[in-house]
Structure 1
């Protein structure tokens, strides 16, 4: 059998392993069930890929992420290693051919989702494969207390009956102590060898800043740190808006979200990877399989849903070991808005039942029928037809997807993309000559400020509502503008595919999974509370707060986070700055930007001085984000 280091050098061109990789590989080769908790960037895939290559047979990899499976298979194939992924949308005949290849074609890796293991005939075929290792990626999904629980993961332990001597390797980047114990139990791991790398990222400075003008602060950060950066936002509209605003400020910026076509994703990704763009503004659709080691700064301009996601996303900074920053920008209105928005989109049992019944009616599925029926699906149209709130509906459908009741393609995209091909002054001239189209065009321009520079995802129903027209009237104007070559306009026929995995049984279906929904909703509320605690707690090192969340205790502060910098007294003549601020505020109420421009000192020093004055009740902040003396 070849040595692990020989395999690593031959196929991955590395001559040494990262911390714990070799120990995990040795544990697997010795036949032990193994649990590897390696934070983002720790090199989890090597831990099963190398031992699989050292032995005869094929490695079975269970993963919940289609994009990650495709990425890993493509990377293995580049190294001339034979790998296959059974992703969604593959017909039965093709699956049979792929499994034949696994059995007779000397393949080394078979990737599949946990839902695939619920098909008895697929399981029968897998039982006859020469499996040498079973790797469970994103193993936190097996835990009902994990941040992305998927019930199909609970079935994985059944494979042990067929391969009692083949080791299980559970891998995850984020798991609390409670989740760790749950994973061991649900996967039926025996005499488990446990390997955990510290969650501490000593080269990352965790910063939390309360600011009124987030764009202004982002501008300052990017000017001070001109290296590659990521800005994470919560929705697609923010992606485009912030990217456009940064471009107007002179930054080379691009954006990435799940609604872009594969071609656009690849193009924007390459702009950033090749550093033709300094910054990429992205939703959490960006990041899986991305390994750019010189990211200097990761900025979150909106609150993350949980600490697990925040840790993973911020952990994409500083993978080369260099000093880097994870910055979370908040404002006084963020917390209330986030709590209200978050709670309003959590589906309860009654809403879930309504969505399921209406979904079946929408596709005219009769009670007791629907198994294996597949349909094109337009989320916006479905929500408009039944007057459902879009995000809450999407969350309900996602829950049905996670429970395996339906399979919903993740490739949601806007129905329409659009871009003006003429300059803004020519658009104004067109409106003056075609007053009947003016209200619709004005609504478009005001809603999509970047529409002159790039193609934007276009919400037909939103523009119809804003312009007080019907969708048909808006579409007619768009067609006219396209014919006159004023716009580039592309319309798609559907934005998702839904496959029904069970016959329709209405209440019986929903009652079976409702306990998971209640538990998931409570978990999400608890996780949001942890995020708010991380933001509000101003008497503890930010690094220690993160470590404590993951059950890792430390007595020492990191020395580089926003809390530690404040306590180190690194403010330039702090008392003097405070005195100057108080003097300015005697004349008028001012924003932090106005104060900074008059004092002409480092923004961080001014902000920290303002925070000290707020904490000591010398000043207060008003609803218009100006500071004033406390009366």
Structure 2
């Protein structure tokens, strides 16, 4: 149920996204937003696992895009003319060193956005990266540059303009198809875990390949080897009965099992237990007897 929330839950999450980023209906932000699932869910009292599933549904429906945490380097572009920038340097002497270093080390910033390493620029100016970021942000606020700080958090992008919650549509047929496929996969996994068939044969059948022989090395195959086949157990039963019949003197279980080695001894013990259960053999005073 958590993997496929109902439409009302999906709409609730979508509404919360609009409120979280303060987006009016009809707005379409050009840039992505940092997204912290835990903070978002806590803010709107949502269940994180169900919220993530709802976000996946919104993504599959083409409303949003959600990326995992990736490193996006900082970038900047000079928005004003050279003359305006020079005037800004004169009026803001504290920015002069930052601007000169930007121009000297990042060519083409008047034409397009350029990646920048704040820490590297800071080393050139004997300043820390925080001071450089602060200076760049001030220049952005003054309208001199476009500046996007480095990011290493998941990013959420609105693919389409925000719509009223009632107008949020999800392809129901596709939703149902994915839900059924998910239920089928879960059932197959449960079947895989519960089955005592060869794991390799089971997986091959899942992918449409029939007629394979048992692998002989998976846990189920090894268990069957340990337990013995019905024919092997039947043969051991007959062997045990013959030993007891031919013995010159009655023997104990330990003496009987000395006739078998290794794995066969374990299987002989299993076969003997069956003979006890079927009342074909009994034990009296520590000695085995065939029942008449």
Q: What TM-score comes out, normalization by structure 1 length?
A: 0.23
Structure holding more strand per residue? 1
Q: What TM-score comes out, normalization by structure 2 length?
A: 0.47
By relative contact order (CA 8 Å, sep 6+), the higher-ranking structure is: 2
Structure holding more helix per residue? 2
Q: Determine which structure has more spread, i.e. the larger CA radius of gyration.
A: 2
